[in-house]
């Protein structure tokens, strides 16, 4: 059975992320509001996905993730952030188990990426977002040869 750990310093975000994951995935979700509690949870149990929610993913956050990796944790991280420093972005590009989802995100995106990370650990980082539009599209065929 997979286990998910959600870390967030934003209290209101914790319950929203937890309810989204528990409603759509059949896995237990633990919540943590500070780094010391997160480290305690990681020492007590194996988690197959860590969802790391922050306002700005910076060097301090990346240091924590490197420390967790140094302690033997090999499963993926999903970072939910409004912004990311350039060094954090470079780290996510060089680390195949570090994925990020830019806020604001839809519940469908969070659940879908979490499901993919739990089932297959080697998925590519989503570079671009898809937006719904109500624009009409007109297609024309291109005929080759003499007309």
> Three-class SS of residue 75?
coil
More confident residue, 12 or 106: 106
Share of the chain above pLDDT 90, in %: 1
Distance CA 140, CA 80 (A): 41
Helix boundaries (H) for the chain: 11-24, 35-44, 59-70, 86-94, 107-119
Give the pLDDT score at 143: 72
Of 41-50, 113-122, 126-135, give the lowest mean pLDDT range. 126-135
Give the pLDDT score at 119: 84
pLDDT tens readout for residues 73-127: 888 888 888 887 777 667 666 665 788 888 888 888 888 888 888 887 566 666 5
Give the pLDDT score at 57: 81
Give the pLDDT score at 77: 87
pTM of the model: 0.76
Distance CA 5, CA 32 (A): 7
Give the pLDDT score at 121: 57
């Amino acid at each position: 059975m997979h286990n998910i750990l959600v870390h967030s310093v934003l209290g209101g975000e914790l319950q929203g992320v937890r309810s989204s994951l528990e409603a759509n995935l059949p896995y237990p979700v633990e919540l943590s509001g500070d780094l010391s509690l997160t480290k305690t949870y990681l020492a007590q149990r194996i988690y197959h996905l860590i969802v790391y929610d922050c306002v700005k993913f910076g060097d301090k956050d990346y240091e924590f993730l490197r420390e967790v990796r140094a302690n033997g944790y090999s499963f993926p991280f999903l970072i939910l952030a409004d912004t990311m420093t350039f060094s954090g972005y470079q780290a996510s590009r060089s680390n195949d188990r570090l994925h990020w989802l830019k806020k604001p995100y839809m519940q469908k995106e969070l659940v879908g990426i979490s499901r993919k990370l739990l089932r297959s650990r080697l998925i590519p980082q989503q570079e671009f977002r898809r937006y719904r539009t109500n624009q009409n599209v007109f297609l024309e065929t291109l005929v080759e040869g003499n007309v």
